[in-house]
Amino acid sequence: MFRNGFIVLAALTAAFGIGAPAASQQVFVFEDVNVVPMDAERVLRGQTVIVRDGRIESIGDAMSTTVPSGARVINGQGRYLVPGLAEMHAHVPPSSDRRYLEEVLFLYVANGVTTARGMLGEPAHLELRERLARNEVLGPRLYTSGPSLNDRSVSSPDEAARIVREQAAAGYDFVKLHPGLTREEFDAAVEAAREAGIELAGHVSEDVGVARALEARQATIDHLDGYAQYLVPEDELRGVQPGFFGLNLGHSIDEALIARAVEATVAARVYNVPTLTLLEHWGAPTPSVDELMGRPEMAYVSPAQRQQWRQAKTNLVSQPGYDATAAQRLVEIRRKLVKALHDAEPSLILLGSDAPQVFNVPGFSLHRELASMVAAGLSPYEAIRTGTVHPAAFFGAEDEFGRIAPGLSADFMLVDGNPLEDVGALWQPAGVMVRGVWLDRETLDARLAEIAERYR
């Protein structure tokens, strides 16, 4: 199905000067570069990093390291080498829209996203996952769910269990939960997942609630879904429609209950992918629609999708009963909750932005998510770990990605400034290496310009 469908590296050779699959077997040397290994809050200055066969072979002092003959040397003087980021709430388009799929995968990589957790998969994504791993397709390393469990795909507990078993047998990495499941359907899915050896991740249905999701040890709760309800005293919650991720509850939330939520989450060892920017861009009164539409990354979004996003936010913030003050308070509460969760157990926070989604452009939105994490009170180092070290640990892949160290996959970006001082330094990397394939700034800009021209 994918044989003729995607940006293969051989095709990119002619169009953009990107190496064919053999490029990952070439020897690259990043000379006199400052390495941010992410094993600690430190910078290794003046290093030479050698990449061979798609892996980091060695890191050593630039003055004493011998450059292998025939290697491609990249001058890193004054620049910083940082591990590639993981987008832990990504959406990979369906294979039926080949060009859009190619664009989205490229937008992730162009922004230093070298790992993605696809949150709404399809059978074709299983083959895509393998082709990405073999460098036959340009894009992030992929972990994928299948089609989600929701109120339209599931009509009984038996059906929920059957779908879970089928997705486990098919080889998906996890099962995606969408809203609308009954408590009985969720419980049946939990039991089937336990028996089949697969995890559940995503939303928290109203009939389930955060307390039950934690008790069931759902692998991840995404969007902080259900936490707003959990932070409202029960007597104030009865009969109230929570609204979009709890927008209607902003004035009812009791901040004193955050400690209880954190304690229960840490005890259950449930990860959270907050996607702070999703609510901040879509449901909050600011930034305004016009400000969001004017952001530079919107050049890489089709006019039709831009209009859909404009309408989605306009409809939400202009609906009867929308309270801008309550919405803004919810934004602030969510940031406090993230900070409290991080303070209690940093490793349980994973970076994700839900892209492409309303005003969240793939790749670019993850940098905006980092900024929101810092605004929530995390240091730049702590924020970057949520998109590097923590995802690798979540997947049990600490020896594969997430840091810069000998033996790991060559997934990193070269940037002009020190990201431990300012996460904004990660914007517009001077180059990105994904599994040993090097994309310099000129190459990235050429492809971005082509996408922008198509949507001009």
- In this predicted model, what pLDDT tens digit does every residue of 272-289 receive, in sequence order? 999 999 999 999 999 999
Which of 70, 69, 80 is CA-nearest to residue 30? 80
> Could you say which of 2.30.40.10, 1.20.1630.10, 3.30.565.60, 2.40.30.10 is the CATH number of the domain covering 1-144+384-456?
2.30.40.10
pLDDT at 237: 78
Cα distance between residue 174 and residue 165, in whole Å:
11
Residues facing residue 414 across a β-bridge: 81, 431
Domain boundaries, the chain: 1-144+384-456, 145-383
Contact criterion met (CB below 8 Å) for 109 and 434: yes
Task: Supply the DSSP symbol for 217.
Answer: T
- In Å, how far are 118, 120, 123 from 94, measured between CA atoms? 11, 9, 10
Instruction: Report the run of H or E that residue 73 belongs to, with start and end.
Output: strand 72-75
User: What integer pLDDT is reported at residue 23 of this predicted model?
Assistant: 56
Q: Is 144 exposed, middle or buried (0-12, 13-18, 19+ CB in 10 A)?
A: buried
Return the pLDDT at 266: 98
User: Would you state the CATH architecture of domain 145-383?
Assistant: Alpha-Beta Barrel (3.20)
Q: What is the pLDDT of residue 300?
A: 98
Please return the burial class of 407, using the count of CB atoms within 10 Å of its CB with bins 0-12, 13-18 and 19+.
exposed
| Closest alpha carbon to 387 in 268, 266, 222, 273 | 273
**pLDDT tens column, 183-239:** 999 999 999 999 999 999 999 999 999 999 999 999 999 999 999 999 999 877 777
- 177-207 burial, b if ≥16 CB within 10 A, otherwise e? bbbbbbeebbbbbbebbeebebbbbbbbbbe
Cα–Cα distances (Å) from 243 to 21, 33, 41, 225, 246, in that order, read 48, 49, 40, 11, 5
Backbone angles phi, psi at 374, to 5 degrees: -65, -40
φ/ψ of 80, rounded to 5, equals -125, 135
DSSP H helical ranges for 181-226: 183-196, 209-215
Q: What length is written for the chain?
A: 456
pLDDT tens, residue order, the chain (456 aa) = 333 334 334 444 343 333 334 456 689 999 999 999 999 999 999 999 999 999 999 999 988 989 999 999 999 999 999 999 999 999 999 999 999 999 999 999 999 999 999 999 999 999 999 999 999 999 999 999 999 999 999 999 999 999 999 999 999 999 999 999 999 999 999 999 999 999 999 999 999 999 999 999 999 999 999 999 999 998 777 777 888 899 999 999 999 999 999 999 999 999 999 999 999 999 999 999 999 999 999 999 999 999 999 999 999 999 998 999 999 999 999 999 999 999 999 999 999 999 999 999 999 999 999 999 999 999 999 999 999 999 999 999 999 999 999 999 999 999 999 999 999 999 999 999 999 999 999 999 999 999 999 998
Cβ-count burial of 60 within 10 angstroms (0-12 exposed, 13-18 middle, 19+ buried)? Answer: middle
Structure tokens at 275: 């996607």
Can you give the pLDDT at residue 15?
39
Q: How far apart are the first and last CA of the chain?
A: 31
d(CA 284, CA 278): 9
Angle between helices 441-454 and 9-16 (to 10 degrees): 90
Strand order in the sheet with 85-90: 85-90, 113-118, 141-144
| 76, amino acid identity | G
pLDDT value of residue 6: 40
